[in-house]
Structure 1
């Protein structure tokens, strides 16, 4: 079996993968200089991709799937699969294994950090401290903090990340509402469960809303003006899933009109060429200048141990495939996760 790493894997990473696979497995990776170690270009791997049985990596260069004549497994070292050419993978009969759960703890902690930072006006108060300004008058609305204890958090999507957010929220003595496709399945640490068709009723109960849904055709742009109108004006919205879950214009209007108290996100909008004009990555409105918005740029998973866990889970899928077993983390390509 031949395994191609779709990044500039170092000797230790290659040895880790090879040592867990059957003797004689050929594990290869692009060599030479690179601009970014965790990606590669078509020209870096074209010669090796033609006869590879399995790919493992963080990115798939455009065009590489078309020439991978023997490919049977793609170990995608992410959770979301919306960046993959699902139609082509289905056509070629490639099994896709993702890495769900690898970054769940880190992203859930990031969501909780956002909740605290919004509630406590952390960035605003730090800026005033840097300026040497005392906040006055005391108890003024513009600098008074919100609480988490005793408040209600609604978690939209109860996968690996959503369930961990629920557990941590219960540790803060919050009331937890969950919204999922199949509400008949109970979830630990969730006090109330709603179906997706009951989303608006759930939103009206929440002081904090955390988006933790996968990006699919069903969830693309699903959170717009009706959903924002269903929320309390005093509520906060947090997105640690995908930027495309929310509609940018109504969200900006809600934040600038006082309709929504605050917003935090680690993920932002991506407008692809041929589907949007102008194309590009990032918001079209200037969210970074709004006092009630805080953000990071896809940094939630950049935490201790996540990279090692990604490699471990990806290699587990290779081991199962090599042994002729069903791949535990295989993705249902018809639903996208």
Structure 2
């Protein structure tokens, strides 16, 4: 009889995201003795919420009790079901789980955990960098540098858009792990922070918590910098629509490190092109890669990064710590960390 297994499918095709051997060794050592560690060496796709299932992973999941990968595409679910495997727990090394929450997964009793919060520190650094890029006029400096011009006009004008962070207002849409990390950095720099969350709860005393439509309206009206750090769900999709974008202050900077579907990109591009808002720092988009014909590429008041805000050499240590903690909890029958609420979508 085939020994039940713990499948490790984390060999991402992108070198920095591919699981190192020392992580595999640590996971294998911590695995329950009754489970055989099975490593899928075929390249995985960890972009976004995780990519398609490769044949090697489909074969490996048969007989799995625990699966560690980037998302859990439907063909893997179906393969596990066909094999009669006693699959109990699926863990995704991605934070987003939209691609994993197909109806069969939602209806199943499988434990699904994700890596929410593991990416928080580098993503918060990226958001802060984008804030500073516009606050200190680096967009003007980059434009002048490309033209070999020593141009201080935008810096010296009486209506210069340059601001100090201290005393400025930051609105954070989504006060989970990423939002909290952004908030910590902002308050340390003397910024006033408004945070929109699904429900009021524990919040840093230096942060003003908001909720509901009234909270969103207030945040948009008062914030000079707005950071979206939300997952994509039915409740968050289109959160920053045409109406909301029209309500922004003329000095507003929109920063999105969450998901592209949170924003009406067409309305945002129009507002930026017409100079109705200060700028935008965008790491995620409705379509990725961002099509060459997108007007966002050609707008001087837009900073684009290729869905790279979470990139960090420290990821695998944080991810390993989470996996090892949850392996220990799984064996003890204790509640695991980062269990996904399949109904809420994160």
Normalised to the residue count of structure 1, the TM-score between the two structures is 0.88
Asked if 1:6 corresponds to 2:9, the answer is yes
Deviates more, 1:205-214 or 1:314-323: 314-323
Q: What is the total number of aligned residue pairs between the two structures? A: 326
Q: Report the CA distance between 1:51 and its aligned residue.
A: 0.9
Q: Which residue number in structure 2 is paired with residue 288 of structure 1?
A: 297
Query: Does the C-alpha gap of structure 1 residues 202 and 13 become closer, same or farther in structure 2, counting only changes over 3 Å?
Result: closer
Q: Which residue number in structure 2 is paired with residue 276 of structure 1?
A: none
Q: In the alignment, is the contact (CA less than 8 A) between 1:153 and 1:207 conserved in 2?
A: yes
1:311-322 matches, within 5 Å, as 311-322=320-331
Q: Which runs of 5+ in 1 are unaligned?
A: 271-279
Query: Does the C-alpha gap of structure 1 residues 10 and 186 become closer, same or farther in structure 2, counting only changes over 3 Å?
Result: closer
SS state at 1:176 partner: strand
SS state at 2:222 partner: coil
Q: Which 4+ residue blocks in structure 1 deviate beyond 4 angstroms?
A: 34-41, 141-144
User: In the alignment, which of 95, 99, 116 is matched to residue 100 of structure 1?
Assistant: 116
Q: Which residue number in structure 1 is paired with residue 25 of structure 2?
A: 15
Q: In the alignment, is the contact (CA less than 8 A) between 1:212 and 1:239 conserved in 2?
A: yes
2:24 and 2:316 map into 1 onto residues whose CA distance is: 14
Q: Which runs of 5+ in 2 are unaligned?
A: 12-18
2:339 and 2:224 map into 1 onto residues whose CA distance is: 36
Query: Does the C-alpha gap of structure 1 residues 61 and 197 become closer, same or farther in structure 2, counting only changes over 3 Å?
Result: closer
User: In the alignment, which of 251, 262, 272 is matched to residue 255 of structure 1?
Assistant: 272
Q: In the alignment, is the contact (CA less than 8 A) between 1:76 and 1:314 conserved in 2?
A: no
Q: In the alignment, is the contact (CA less than 8 A) between 2:252 and 2:278 conserved in 1?
A: yes
Deviates more, 1:305-314 or 1:220-229: 305-314
Q: Report the CA distance between 1:83 and its aligned residue.
A: 2.0
Query: Does the C-alpha gap of structure 1 residues 197 and 96 become closer, same or farther in structure 2, counting only changes over 3 Å?
Result: same
Normalised to the residue count of structure 2, the TM-score between the two structures is 0.86
User: In the alignment, which of 236, 239, 247 is matched to residue 222 of structure 1?
Assistant: 239
Query: Does the C-alpha gap of structure 1 residues 41 and 332 become closer, same or farther in structure 2, counting only changes over 3 Å?
Result: closer
SS state at 2:196 partner: strand
Q: Report the CA distance between 1:301 and its aligned residue.
A: 1.1
